[in-house]
Structure 1
Amino acid sequence: MLRLQNVSLVRGVRVLYKNVNLTTSDGEIIGLVGPNGSGKSTLFAAILGELSTEDGDILAPPLNRISHVAQRVVETDLPALEYILEGHAPLMEAKAELKRAEEAGDDMAYAQAVAHLAEINEGAVVAKAEEILYGLGFKPNDSSRQVSEFSGGWRNRIALARALMRPADLLLLDEPTNHLDIDSVIWLESFLKQQEATVIVISHDREFLDRIAKSIWSVEDNTINRYGGNYSQFEVTRAQKLALQQAAAKAYERAASHLQAYIDRFRYKATKARQAQSRIKMLEKLQSVEPVLAKNEWRFSFLQPEKVPQHLITAEGVACGYEPDHPILTQVKCNISAGARIGILGVNGAGKSTLVKTLIGELEPLAGEIRYGQGLEIGYFAQHQLNDLRDDESPLQHLTRIAPPNMRELDLRNFLGKFRFSGDQALAPVGPMSGGEKARLSLALIAWNKPNLLVLDEPTNHLDMETREALTVALSSYEGAVLLVSHDRHLLRASCDELWLVRDGKLSEFDGDLDEYAEIVLKDKKARNAAPEDSGAPVPVNRKEQRRNEAQERARISALSKPLKKELSKIEKELDLANKEKSALDLKLADTDFYQGNQDEVAEALKRHGELSSKIDELEGRWLEISEELQNISSSSDLS
């Protein structure tokens, strides 16, 4: 259990939050959210004892029962599996105990150490470590590779695996999905829901939080508030809370204004002095309610393309890769037309980025033909492009370089302002900027060129929740075509109506949705973990038969699921309308003046509020029933 008692934290001269009182439940999964720089990671550091609180106490489990992801993986020559097992303190201590007894020649101590090691069950611990490695996207032979051989992104996965491996009462995860592909994110959700520790997760991935979080801690208004439910429920509850606060603030202003007016008018009249004093006391007792500060949601847009050719990119029999003798993808056949909204799925290393680079001409195809439509204008975003920005130049200098020479500086600065580079920020050098700020600048430079095909390869890795939402809104109003690689399923759902799957060296259309894809991913990983150890002999696989069986199974699931999903969609629309009406009534009923008016109207509002509450309960109950039916249909599938 973790308990924060009147905690205040300060960074420099800035108060991050004060008087925080929060307690976790055993096994609770908590999403910690708030703007960048609000102090989320600082709270983790305080829990770990790396910095002191300004005031209050943090009652946390002992450090040896807290697991967190190291900011930097040590460059070691240890094999990946061995490095991860080192994170399992009880196993390491038992092995050290055995070694000490062996060196001392103490038979009794040796017997006790052997018993202790048997109790821990080293075989089960190793099997769990291998399961975690596979779940996070590592191949079977990766476990024996030295940690130093892996790239930075894969080392981050190794650090996450070590944290997940460690027996703990409290698990702290800071942006765990940033370096994962969608398959690994799906696995991580399943893993976290099954483990027993209390988990606090900092994340900007709203669907990830929706699927795992049972409560949300929100850093806001110089404190941390707790909200029950997942991220979507938090958004609704917080919006209602702010609306009620605003209504209460207006009611306070009206009451205080009336009292003050009476006091000012009669306080010096002898005949009214007693009443004036009474109202002064009433005014002193009246609880002040701060009005809600207006928050301007940040939005930007991609400029609409000047021309949109019907056919943008067509590929026939294309092989993609870097070595002619070892193509990563073969026989790629695809077509991107005007208005296409395509999301690309597949594990890291399957060839998604290689496919994208080949389609847009950054890589020459090893075989086959790619045809481009006349007037095609591509806007390409990839993580490596952030490194191509010039550190010593400002956003304005970057934009000036690609703008026509006759453009006024005022127009350029106005454009950059839409991407939150206004005032001195437009003139500051890019070098010290955060990854999120550099990503925003790259998006601004892409938008300036008015592309008719946006190709975005993991655009959200460095973006906070607000910027991700702004990107989602921008893509929804963009009239050109979109080709998107992302592990952010909220962005994929909102921006794409067609899915491609890169797998086993091939590109194919995926005819299911993201939920069906998640089911297949988990079944694949479950089947792999349940498979017996490889005997060394290759297992013959009839790929054609396998694909046919999988297609038939997907068709069966679709036939059973379709009417239920239709009813579920209808219920969700009814719930949305009922919740909106109930929220409007909540605001009305929160206004004290409302009860002074027409009593029939008050009675009708109270009656309707009760009816809506009952209806929402009924709809939510049916929603849960249908969701369970859909889950049972999925569970009965034997797709592998």
Structure 2
Amino acid sequence: MLQLSEITLRRGTSVLLEQATLRLESTYKVGVVGRNGAGKTSLFKLLLGELHEDQGRVQWPSAWQVVHLQQALPDTDLTAFEYVRSADTQWAQLHARITAAEAVNDGAVLAECYEAMQVIDGYRMESRVATLLNGLGFTPSTYHQPVTDFSGGWQMRLQLARVLLAPSDVLLLDEPTNHLDLETIMWLESWLNTYPGLLMVISHDRDFLDRVTMHTVSIMHQRLRLYQGNYSSFARQFQEALVLQDKSNQKIIKQQQHLQSFVDRFRAKATKAKQAQSRMKAIEKLSTSSDLQEEQALSMQFFDSTAVGYPAISIRADCGYGDQVILKHVELNVGGGDRIGVIGMNGSGKSTLLKSLAQALEPVNGEVSHHPKARIGYFSQQQLDMLHLDETPLAHVLQQADHLTETQARSYLGGFGFGQDKVTANVSLFSGGEKARLALALLIEQKPNVLVLDEPTNHLDMSVREALIMALNDFSGAVLLVSHDRYFIECCVNTLWWVKQGRVHTYEGDLSDYQTLCLSSQPMESENAQQPKVMSRAETKQLKQLEREIDKLTQQLKTIESKLADVSLYEADQAEQLQKTLARQQTLQQTLDDKEQQWFALSDQS
């Protein structure tokens, strides 16, 4: 059992947890939810010992093995297979002992090691590693390639494979579905459903949480609250609790008003003074509750769009880069009101298709045509890189929409969650989620009537995803999208295009049918799947440079956090130094976020 007792946790001047208590059994499957910045990742760092509680106590059995998904790229000369296998240190030690004992023919040691190997299921090691690699999309021909030959995205899959192989009693996964395709996410869900220990998952993918977890921990108002059930169950319970809290508060307000009227009537009368005083004390004891609060509602809304004739987009082409054909003989039409989701494995050509349809990429052969009335709104992660870091959201909107007044621009940005403090802040200080919201705001302001969206939910928390779903459902134009968020796809599209083995087909079925197909044909699909792309020398050099910069920034942040942990820094005469240190922390964190985004962008291209 894991127990957190009266935990207070601070990061600099921010209080993330205060007198928080939590108790989890050893077999729970737990989703950890909360707004961005609430402290989800910090909770994991607390459990890993990377952060220390300011007050309280964390308790669990000392023999428990805790494993977590590391975001750092591996630095090793091992092959993919060797690297994953090395995660089981018990097996590695036994294997080394067996090799040494065989060399000197030590029968006693061999007998002991053989028995120990049987206990840890070590004789199935080769099969277990192959199963994990296969499930995560690696083909047998790539098992023995050096880890450094793979792109960053595939190296992260190797990190995930190591986590799943390593013996553990507690498994901590922070956004494990990032940069995985739908097929791999489905396989991961089936694997996690068989995990026997305590699983804790941070994810913005509600469908993933629904399929994997049976309990939910909510971080709100510096408290931890445990709910029975998966994310959908939690959301329902939360809304019901909000209604009850509102009714209770209304009842309390009526009681306060009734008591206050008595006080107002009799406070001046000597004969009633004591009773009036008693009523005043009663009013003080009656207080409304704000333990539960909904996140700020966003008001994303597309403008009324001009109707587009058929077809809005027509493609008769081979798609690819330069002379390299990725998709052959693509012959498709998009109607003015179509809702199309594009599915397929990573590397199959989904992004290539969307870029081609948006005319952001020239076809290798053939042509892509747009209806004269079509206004294409194209979104990809590259839109985040095109934001001007030294400018504000307000400046971005006013430069793009010079017909808006400053007041109108502020009001428009407010609908995307940019309040007074954010609307005039430099984009360089923004998180990935804030940049994504700004990019969406700029896209919507262009008043498109055809939307081509490549992973629009990346970096967005659940409340923003819900707002985007509502906006897309009210949008009257055409929508084409790629997303690994199944809930998002199911809510927004009614047609699926399947990109597979260089061709694009209309998929006759829904996502549930597709999941059944993927899980039933996983081994066959993996054998025929496009092999992970090996990085070029220039890409590898650029990636390594980014990794060095990320490591340096991480160390600088740790130094800053150590300074902020010094209580003397918060004394009155250190106020100026404290502000400088906090400003430096914010700058370093934002620079680190930018470098990590560049790293992921480069990884995803490979």
TM-score bucket of the superposed structures, by smaller chain: 0.7 to 0.9
- Aligned pairs for 1:193-592 (under 5 A) are 193-259=193-259, 262=262, 288-291=287-290, 296-316=296-316, 318-322=317-321, 324=323, 326-404=324-402, 407-525=404-522
Cα deviation, residue 374, structure 1: 1.3
CA contact (8 A) 2:308 2:371 kept: no
Q: Computing the radius of gyration over CA atoms, which structure comes out larger, 1 or 2?
A: 1
Q: Supply the RMSD in Å over aligned alpha carbons.
A: 2.7
With over 3 angstroms needed to count, the CA separation of the structure-2 counterparts of 1:61 and 1:132, relative to structure 1, is farther
Partner-residue secondary structure (3-state), 1:354: helix
* Structure 1 residue aligned with 2:548: none
TM-score (norm 1): 0.76
Q: Which runs of 5+ in 2 are unaligned?
A: 528-606
Cα deviation, residue 241, structure 1: 0.9
With over 3 angstroms needed to count, the CA separation of the structure-2 counterparts of 1:227 and 1:64, relative to structure 1, is closer
Distance in 1, Cα, partners of 2:57 & 2:453: 45
Distance in 1, Cα, partners of 2:273 & 2:297: 49
* Structure 1 residue aligned with 2:51: 51
Tell me whether 1:87 sits opposite 2:87 in the alignment: yes
Cα deviation, residue 465, structure 1: 0.9
Paired letter, 2:442? L
> In the TM superposition, what whole-angstrom CA distance separates every residue of 1:172-203 from its partner, at most 9, and x where no partner exists?
11111121111111111111111111111111
Partner-residue secondary structure (3-state), 1:227: strand
* Structure 2 residue aligned with 1:152: 152
Cα deviation, residue 272, structure 1: 6.2
CA contact (8 A) 1:299 1:473 kept: no
Partner-residue secondary structure (3-state), 1:328: strand
Partner-residue secondary structure (3-state), 1:321: strand
The number of residue pairs the alignment matches comes to: 526
* Structure 2 residue aligned with 1:580: none
Cα deviation, residue 219, structure 1: 0.8
* Structure 2 residue aligned with 1:562: none
> In the TM superposition, what whole-angstrom CA distance separates every residue of 1:528-563 from its partner, at most 9, and x where no partner exists?
79x9xxxxxxxxxxxxxxxxxxxxxxxxxxxxxxxx
Report % sequence identity. 41
Paired letter, 1:412? A
With CA pairs under 8 Å and 6+ residues apart, which has the higher RCO, 1 or 2? 2
Distance in 1, Cα, partners of 2:74 & 2:64: 19
With over 3 angstroms needed to count, the CA separation of the structure-2 counterparts of 1:274 and 1:439, relative to structure 1, is closer
With over 3 angstroms needed to count, the CA separation of the structure-2 counterparts of 1:7 and 1:416, relative to structure 1, is same
Deviates more, 1:438-447 or 1:91-100: 91-100
Cα deviation, residue 410, structure 1: 3.6
> In the TM superposition, what whole-angstrom CA distance separates every residue of 1:392-419 from its partner, at most 9, and x where no partner exists?
3333333344334x65444333333332
Distance in 2, Cα, partners of 1:86 & 1:125: 10
Deviates more, 1:367-376 or 1:235-244: 367-376
With over 3 angstroms needed to count, the CA separation of the structure-2 counterparts of 1:131 and 1:294, relative to structure 1, is closer
With over 3 angstroms needed to count, the CA separation of the structure-2 counterparts of 1:352 and 1:63, relative to structure 1, is farther
Q: Which runs of 5+ in 1 are unaligned?
A: 532-640
Distance in 1, Cα, partners of 2:70 & 2:157: 11
Cα deviation, residue 169, structure 1: 1.0
* Structure 2 residue aligned with 1:70: 70
With over 3 angstroms needed to count, the CA separation of the structure-2 counterparts of 1:399 and 1:246, relative to structure 1, is closer
Paired letter, 1:2? L
Cα deviation, residue 459, structure 1: 1.1
Distance in 2, Cα, partners of 1:505 & 1:294: 45
* Structure 1 residue aligned with 2:536: none
CA contact (8 A) 2:242 2:293 kept: no
CA contact (8 A) 1:61 1:169 kept: no
Distance in 2, Cα, partners of 1:251 & 1:204: 36
> In the TM superposition, what whole-angstrom CA distance separates every residue of 1:203-241 from its partner, at most 9, and x where no partner exists?
111111122221111111221111111111111111111
Tell me whether 1:41 sits opposite 2:21 in the alignment: no
CA contact (8 A) 1:61 1:170 kept: no
Cα deviation, residue 61, structure 1: 4.5
With over 3 angstroms needed to count, the CA separation of the structure-2 counterparts of 1:384 and 1:158, relative to structure 1, is farther
Cα deviation, residue 153, structure 1: 2.0
Distance in 1, Cα, partners of 2:457 & 2:427: 19
Paired letter, 1:510? Y
Cα deviation, residue 273, structure 1: 7.8
Distance in 2, Cα, partners of 1:2 & 1:140: 39
Distance in 1, Cα, partners of 2:288 & 2:405: 47
CA contact (8 A) 2:21 2:223 kept: no
Paired letter, 1:322? Y
Distance in 1, Cα, partners of 2:281 & 2:426: 57
Partner-residue secondary structure (3-state), 1:342: strand
